[in-house]
Amino acid sequence: MILILMGPPGAGKGTQAKRLVARYGIPQLSTGDMLRAARKSGSPLGQKVAAIMDAGELVSDDIVIALIEEKLDGSEASEGAILDGFPRTTAQAEALDAMLSSKGRAVDAVLSIEVSDDDVVRRNSGRRTCPTCSTSYHVEFNPPRAAGVCDNEGAALVQREDDKPEKIQARLAAYHRDTAPVLAYYQPQGLVKPVDGVGSIDDVFGRLTAAIG
């Protein structure tokens, strides 16, 4: 079973991916994690990745596809995998389909966690972190006992630069620009499963498993 997990930043993909891994016994393949692991491994492909990253360049689609292929050929992914963060473009989706087809495999479902832009901004902009112990809070969903102060250290909580509303809006714009064509690519194949991402973690997980069937 090959699943693609999509959703805007802050939609809860990471949390839900871990639950899907536990439920179905298939690994989560995050492109970021794979690139870091390949670099650390020192393999021929890893050395190629390291050289590209050290030069400050973007890793090409064919290398990312090769990393995914390497993982899918391993015993851990013999029953399938959850792709997180890939494909991001139509060209990547086409390359993924071609690689899977050569192995007699195919994407089974594209799970699109749907969360409104307003909700994404609300979720992300409310995050706060203790600069001393790194404990995370949320001004609305998980506030500290005293406003703006860490429960453990008494330090003033900080907002990450990435969690400021203008930065979130920029990431959302990029997500919509890049993702809409990918969903349009898979739509005619009947693979896109929209899932309401609003509600408790358990509620969203229940909708995801129902969409998978």
Q: What is the pLDDT of residue 156?
A: 97
Q: What is the pLDDT of residue 32?
A: 82
CA distance 136 to 91: 37
Q: What is the pLDDT of residue 171?
A: 87
CA distance 5 to 3: 6
**Segments in the chain forming alpha helices (H):** 13-24, 31-41, 44-54, 61-72, 90-102, 117-125, 165-186, 201-212
Q: What is the pLDDT of residue 135?
A: 94
> For the domain bounded by 2-115+173-212, which CATH number is listed?
3.40.50.300
Give the chain's residues under pLDDT 70: none
Q: What is the pLDDT of residue 213?
A: 87
Containing 30, the helix (H) or strand (E) segment is strand 28-30
Active-site residue set: 13, 88, 127, 160, 171
Helices 13-24 + 201-212 axis angle, to 10: 50
DSSP state of 107: E
Q: Tokens representing 75?
A: 């015993």
Domain spans in the chain, listed from the N-terminal domain onward:
2-115+173-212
CA distance 28 to 83: 6
